Structure 1
Amino acid sequence: MNDKDGVRPVLEIDDVRGGYGGVDILHGVSLTVNPGELVVIVGPNGAGKSTLMKAAFGLLQINSGQVRLAGADITNISPDRLGHRGMSYVPQERNVFPTMSVQENLEMGAYIRKDSASAQMERVFDLFPRLKERRKQPAGLMSGGERQMVAMGRALMIEPTLLMLDEPTAGLSPAFVQQVFEWIRAINAQGISILMVEQNAKQALGIADRGYVLATGENRHEDSGAGLLANREVAQMFLGGR
């Protein structure tokens, strides 16, 4: 699915270069997320995966190249304006308001809405029943997996067209890792496009429509999730062997 097929990509990152303090970490990275796709970015530590997500969401300076959301140029647009355009981002760290209750965290996610968010909150509770049980509990007192539920639930409160997840299973127990992947598949099944950076590369590619391998801030491989898993070079260099 792409412009050639008459379908406009949800997200296009085109030859992006950028980083911190005037030093480029990204060296001409490009990727595309099409409507309804689950796209995964994998690669070694220091490859620029999380940097790319932050650049796309306006959290660091892009020095050249372009980011487009549904065809509109959003390069270096501030994050608060991107929510209005249907783009949500869940960072790896500090992704909840710890002193606020679960419900208050979700309400914060709906700050840009001009209509009632009550129906969407119930949909979030349907996806994460534990949050409904603990809606009055401070988010900071919850386990890592539960906080991830809160963070993802808050990002869904604007009913995004694109959800970006940065290392959603980092630091979680194996049981919770599997649960997070199930939630991600359920969210994607609702028609929400997802772009995800993930350290559990094999599991992530196993549920991905497509994947990108980054290394030293550059594109190294692009294929379907299954294709990358079957690629011997990718497996040996980036997935811990076969």
Structure 2
Amino acid sequence: MSLLRADDLYAGYGGVDILRGLHLRVEADEVVVIVGPNGAGKSTAMKAVFGLVPVRAGRVTYQGEDITNAAPEQMVTRGIAYVPQEGNVFPSLTVLENLELGAYALKGDLRPRLEKVYEVFPRLRERRAQQAGLMSGGERQMVAMGRALMVEPQLLMLDEPTAGLSPKLIDETFRRIRGINALGIGVLMVEQNAKQALGIADRGYVLATGENRYEDTGSNLLANREVAEMFLGG
């Protein structure tokens, strides 16, 4: 049984389908990457799975349970965390306050959860009293992912986690994502830095006009000449 499956999804905005028969799956131990040109439906796919865009047809299942069109807050309680591309931190709050907000619905002592986040992102421990809005783009991305980890998810969904970052920070972000996966957390990620993302992916999907064009291991997609020429800039 897959951790997450989306089967024959049709979804979009204002009655217009952006996704047209999308299929994808994520296993519990995988990093899965969705790539493709602008307008391919990558972010829409993530939002449809997480309940932020209505699914008109098709089915989303999580651990075998139908979660199609479930509310985002229900997704979180089931163990799914989502980090959007923009607006993913509270800039006027400190790092610690941002992290604590990630677990606002949970009861009990948050310190063990904070320690786990600090182990993944040691810099957040050092900067825990700093306002998130005063941090660099890479540091804010750490805060956003750290806040998502506060709910101890089984699936982490990331929408363009390296957008706007320098090459050095892109490499660091991908290393952190692999480290999160090593904790036993499945990762589903949309990325414009397709080559680097596929380089860390167990499997990848190439989308075009809301449809699956290719599905394979990350290494096989990188080695596929047609994929490289059409979608990866040669």
Smaller-chain TM-score bracket: over 0.9
Gaps of 5+ in 2: none
Give the letter for the 1:238 counterpart.
F
Gaps of 5+ in 1: 1-7
Q: Is structure 2 residue 88 aligned with structure 1 residue 95?
A: yes
1:181-220 residue pairs with structure 2 within 5 A? 181-220=174-213
The Cα of 1:48 is off from its aligned counterpart by 0.2
Counterpart selection for 2:163 from 143, 163, 170: 170
1:54-109 deviations in Å (ceiling 9; x for gaps) = 00000011100011111111111110111100000000000001111100000010
Deviations 1:208-241 (A, max 9, x none): 1000000000000000001101111100000010
Q: Aligned ranges for residues 22-41 of structure 1 at < 5 Å?
A: 22-41=15-34
Aligned residue in 2 for 1:238:
231
Q: How many residues align?
A: 234
> Out of 140, 145, 159, which is 1:147 matched to?
140
Instruction: State the AA in 1 paired with 2:86.
Output: E
- DSSP 3-state at the match of 2:156: strand
TM-score by length of 2: 0.99
TM-score (norm 1): 0.95
**2:56 aligned partner, one-letter code:** N
Checking the alignment, whether the CA contact within 8 Å between 1:110 and 1:157 is kept in structure 2 is: yes
Contact 1:33–1:193 under 8 Å retained in 2? yes
CA distance in 1, matches of 2:166, 2:108: 37
Counterpart CA distance in 1 for 2:29 and 2:102 is 22
Per the TM alignment, residue 112 of structure 1 is displaced from its structure 2 partner at its CA by: 2.6
Asked if 1:63 is matched to 2:62, the reply is: no
In structure 2, what is the Cα distance between the partners aligned to 1:238 and 1:104?
40
Q: Report how far residue 169 of structure 1 moved.
A: 0.2
Q: Secondary structure at the match of 2:175?
A: helix
Moved over 3 A (4+): none
Which AA in structure 2 matches 1:149? M
C-alpha offsets along residues 91-146 of structure 1, whole Å, 9 cap, x if unaligned? 00000011111000000101232232211101111211111111111111111111
CA distance in 2, matches of 1:35, 1:149: 22
| Partner of residue 161, structure 1 | 154
Identity %: 67
Equivalent AA in structure 2 for residue 112 of structure 1: A
CA offset digits 1:130-181 (Å, max 9, x no partner) = 1111111111111111100000000000110000000000000111000000
Q: CA RMSD in A?
A: 0.7
Q: Which amino acid aligns with 1:234?
A: V
